[in-house]
Amino acid sequence: MINNKDFFDSFDEDHESFHHHNHHMGGFARGGHHGLRMGHGDIAPNVLKALEERPMHGYELIQYFEQKSYGFWRPSSGSIYPILQSLEDQELVKSHDENGKKVYGLTEAGKEKLKKEPWGKTIPNFEERMKRGKRIIILKGNLKSLLKSIRDIGMNGSDKDVEKTKEILEKAVEELNKRASEVHDKD
């Protein structure tokens, strides 16, 4: 059976200790309407890596992460701006005013930090986690069409149409549960 808890556990092995885990060590967990949250310990290295590509202001960083995660993770301004301030205090980034916006770029110390702690070591499995998000979004796209068809049949179909649709859905659920079980067994 497909289980949401199992899905979210793949991002945060210990969901029960989410607040402690995220605050002290960083990690993914369920998060509001944007899908996933990332702990502050994971945001800072991600910010440094993003700024390695180009200087950005805070809102650009939020958009960058939302795009990179295919809409699955959108950090809040309440997360990004304190991290930027902390990175600036550590002299890993430096800001300048550009068209009335505070734009952040890496300092030499920030570049050195990234060399010493490369992407894969600083943020374990980040790229894989984001790929998972993309795959889920692809699969969810089919749900919208499926739900529309179910609604149309339910509202306009005969009792026979509804019964046949129910049978189709039951078979689909059975097949998907079987597939999910096979995929889970691979791990």
Residues 6+ apart with CB under 8 A from 82: none
31 with 121, same domain? yes
Range of the domain at 169: 136-186
23: pLDDT strictly greater than 50: no
Q: Express each pLDDT in 122-164 by its tens digit.
A: 455 666 767 777 778 788 888 888 999 999 999 999 999 999 9
> Residue 105's pLDDT is what?
97
82 with 153, same domain? no
Domain termination residue (choose one: 105, 126, 147):
126
89 with 174, same domain? no
Q: Express each pLDDT in 54-72 by its tens digit.
A: 999 999 999 998 888 777 7
Model confidence, pTM: 0.53
Into how many domains does the chain fold?
2
107 with 72, same domain? yes
Helices (H) and strands (E) in the chain, counts: 9, 5
116 with 141, same domain? no
> Residue 187's pLDDT is what?
61
116: pLDDT strictly greater than 60: yes
Please check whether residue 59 lies inside any domain of the structure. Answer: yes
